Chains A and B, each alone.
Chain A
Amino acid sequence: MDKILEVTDLITRFHTFDGVVHALSGVSFHLYRGETLGVVGESGSGKSVTMMSLLHLLAAPPARIEGGRALYFGDNGPLDLLGLDTAGISRIRGGRMGFIFQDALSALNPVMTVGRQISETLVEHLGMTTARAWNRSVQLLDYVGIPEPGKRAAAYPHQFSGGMRQRAMIALAIACQPRVIIADEPTTALDVTVQAQIIDLVLRLKSEMNMSVIWITHDLGVVAGIADRVMVMYAGTVVETAPVDDLFYRPAHPYTIKLLGALPKIGQAGNYRLESIDGTPPDLLEKPSHCQFVWRCDHAGDRCWQDIPQNREISPGHQAACFFPFTDKGVR
């Protein structure tokens, strides 16, 4: 399969008054054309920071991208996103890669009509006239399932319901038919039925417009339902990447195993305690010098305290960053 995106050893740090926060310490992953990549991990594991680093969306200072490469394979050959200047990255943002943010209420400008916020992108990237862009915005709102789109385009974000706002946010992200959609927890703030509608919508758009999707979430249930492959992040590193079935049925990294173990189980009697992972994630102010999961791991050996484990192949397409991964043959 063709790759659309290939990120290697991405290092992002935040230079704060308290010291240097090692937000990403060498993140590598790739995205194939037409696939959905689920990115899971707890808060602070670097899911959003990774994606925002690619598009230079982090506030600098304090954020600084200090290493790595992010190749985007467009029509004109590979392009290193991290090396682009402001004008270059502006063409990618919205034009080639669309971002769907979590909380559409705060992510949309409160004093600009939804239609204008969508047409703004169209004018910027496709050079449409304002009038044409407006008509196209109305079509887009219709396309993402907003009733009376002509009327709704002239409304302000606060006049929309939560689900409708997220639909508008999606219309905005897909307006210029980007190749990649990055959805940063787009359903977290929504109730379950609306969540299902939004997921269906994104998947429908993805296949109709032939896009690749990166779906950031901490809901493993959502990932199981939509992703082709899953990438698990922990403390600024990718600890495991696998096709979705492998990840759920044959997890290799102790963190993934514990994460899956913490899911509520169907069929278990009503009154039981949910399992949790003991301990807390490491303090990112310290520069990692060994496995970042070692404090919370039941299987850590001496080596885990000395070296940083690199991602290695467990089976085709399945990688884990662990010295002692679980495999079909037991612990190696």
Chain B
Amino acid sequence: MQRYILSRLIQSVFILFGVLLIVFFMLQLTGDPVSLMISRHATPEDVEALREELGFNRPVAVQFGSFIAGAVTGDFGKSLRHKQPAMDLILSRLPATIELAATALLLSLVLGIPLGLVAGSNPGSFWDLLSRGTGLLGQTIPNFWLALILVLVFSVHLGWFPTFGRDTWTVLGLTLPTRSVLLPAFSLSLFTMGQLVRFTRSAVMEIRSEDYVRTAYSKGIAHRKVYIRHILRNAAIPLISIVGVQFGYLLSGSIYIETIFSWPGLGNLLAESIGNRDFALVQAIAFFSSFVVVFLNLLTDIAYALADPRIRY
């Protein structure tokens, strides 16, 4: 196990290096970044001066070297617009995105898994119909459209939730979420929820007819215990990977949802920085999101090995 974790860690380092490579050359591919940053009326001397200042006049290899050296220490340079280190900006936006992503994940787990379970155990029933409907709609409804409708109904007409923004509530120095997170989190959770419903349903349906479930019944184990110990336990294994992948996607921040709700998270920051051609910040966010995904995949693989004794590396 330790050897497996070590080798996966080394792999992850290589993946992240590849990400850095792409992130760096992404900037080179857009042409001369300086001409995009500077006013159209600037003199050639001004352009040259800025190029000198930002280090774009150095050979590409040297630029890449200093980029990597900075990236390893979390230094992606200063945001051109905010005049602050890019990483600091990301870290300041991170709590909002974590709050949103965690709430969305929690909602999709709490609603999706029980629905999938009930549906999988009673194929053809009302709950099964509901679960298939949820699975289909969750994965096909564009979440930005749904978000607007939700705002219209629940915020504008009913006034139950704020229309935008993040309110927090501080108790004993802890920052706690308020109901302002619910609408964006629900809109964001729908896709993951749909996937969880579908996978849980099909996993339960498949495992229900496994030989070992019949064995459990043949031992005289009560229905409820067979479900919990034999069916759920086995159905949980494929769900681990979905939860891992989806949480990575949620944590990278959703551009649409955060923009619609003016949620001060990473997605919002990314949208803003792309609009401003704030290259250092875009690079930093791209790398940070990849880092989160790689890290969560690593955790997922480890969780897999812990949950399924047949997997041994």
Contact = CB atoms under 8 A, between A and B. Distances in A.
Interface of A: 55, 57, 59, 86, 90-95, 98-99, 101, 103, 106-112, 120-121, 124-125, 156, 158, 172
B229 to A, nearest CB: 7
Given A107-B211, A111-B234, A124 B307 contact: no
A95 B234 contact: no
Contact of A101 (B209, B215, B220, B229): B215
Contact of A125 (B210, B214, B217, B220): B220
Contacts of B307: 111
Interface string B167-203: 0000000000000000000000000000000000000
A112 to B, nearest CB: 7
Nearest to B213: A109
B234 A109 contact: yes
A121 B223 contact: no
Contacts of A91: 220
Interface string B201-244: 00000000111101111111111010001100110010000000
A102 to B, nearest CB: 9
A110 B310 contact: yes
Interface string B273-313: 00000000000000000000000000000000001111000
Q: Which of A91, A93, A99, A111 has the most CB of B within 10 A?
A: A111
Given A111-B234, A111-B309, 6 more contacts: A94-B219, A106-B210, A109-B234, A110-B308, A112-B233, A172-B219
B210 A93 contact: no
A226 B215 CA distance: 25
Contact of A111 (B211, B216, B222, B237): B237
The 6 closest A-B pairs by CB, nearest first: A94-B220, A93-B220, A94-B219, A99-B218, A106-B211, A121-B219
B310 to A, nearest CB: 5
Nearest to A169: B215
21 contacts: A57-B214, A90-B220, A90-B222, A93-B220, A94-B218, A95-B220, A101-B211, A107-B212, A107-B215, A109-B229, A109-B234, A110-B212, A110-B308, A110-B309, A111-B234, A111-B237, A111-B307, A112-B229, A112-B233, A120-B229, A172-B219
